Amino acid sequence: MQIDMGMLVLIFIINFAYITLNTVRFLLVMRGYRYFAAFASVIEITIYVLGLSLVLNRLNNPINLVVYALGYGVGVYVGMVIEDRLALGYTMISVILPDPKSSLPGVLRENGFGVTQHAAYGLEGERLELEILAPRKNERRLYGLIKDAAPNAFVIAYEPRYISGGFWLKRVKRRNARRKKQ
């Protein structure tokens, strides 16, 4: 059995590219970027058919299948890294502070974050609860500000499905208008 290194590299690169694109496309769909996702799927399926045909035509060498699987695994990882760097969409962060007079809301507002605050009550008494909507690209900076100003804060983050009104209304409207034009 002869090993064709060029073919192995080609199989790896093709499946790596396919799965990376597949992962990013899936995340684009989940974030509502339909047109980008549709365009990516055309490229994705072309790469997939090409890679699969290379492997299926060379099943006599099991190393081809192993390299195909390695390309798959590396592609998933790199796709997730790309999505994390793109940081598409928004995140909603709830922060519960043990000190109801905390300066954190002011610090966050000074740094450009919209903050809704209200009194909350827990097992050990009065608390201050904050709700912050932020672009995912600013999420790490936001966590840093929270950690610096209130290291004992209880923080929960989740992805909002629908946004209407409030602090981000103008930004969201502009983004949606751009999407409709595409």
Per-residue pLDDT tens, the chain, 182 aa: give them. Answer: 678 888 889 989 998 999 999 988 888 888 788 899 999 999 999 998 988 888 888 878 888 889 989 999 999 999 889 888 888 788 899 999 999 999 999 999 999 888 999 999 988 899 999 999 998 889 999 999 999 999 999 999 998 877 776 665 665 566 666 667 76
Q: Name the one residue in this structure whose structure tokens are 């796709």.
A: 79
Number of domains in the chain: 2
Residue 179: predicted pLDDT = 66
Per-residue tokens: 64:
């081809």
Do 95 and 174 have their domain in common? yes
pTM beyond cutoff 0.85:
no
Residue 140: predicted pLDDT = 92
Is-contact 127 118, C-beta < 8 A?
A: no
Domain boundary among the residues 54, 86, 118 is at 86
Is-contact 136 88, C-beta < 8 A?
A: yes
Do 95 and 177 have their domain in common? yes
Do 98 and 177 have their domain in common? yes
Do 160 and 94 have their domain in common? yes
* Range list of β-strands (E), 80-179: 90-97, 114-122, 125-135, 154-158
Residue 172: predicted pLDDT = 56
Do 94 and 82 have their domain in common? no
CATH number, domain containing residue 142:
3.30.70.120
Q: Could you say which DSSP state residue 177 is in?
A: H
Do 111 and 169 have their domain in common? yes
Domain boundary among the residues 61, 86, 111 is at 86
Residue 167: predicted pLDDT = 61
Do 100 and 161 have their domain in common? yes
The Cα-based distances of 104 to 13, 127, 174 in angstroms read: 48, 13, 29
Residue 2: predicted pLDDT = 76
Domain boundary among the residues 69, 86, 103 is at 86
Residue 100: predicted pLDDT = 92
What is the distance of C-alpha 18 from the center of its chain? 18
Domain around 68: 5-86
Do 9 and 80 have their domain in common? yes
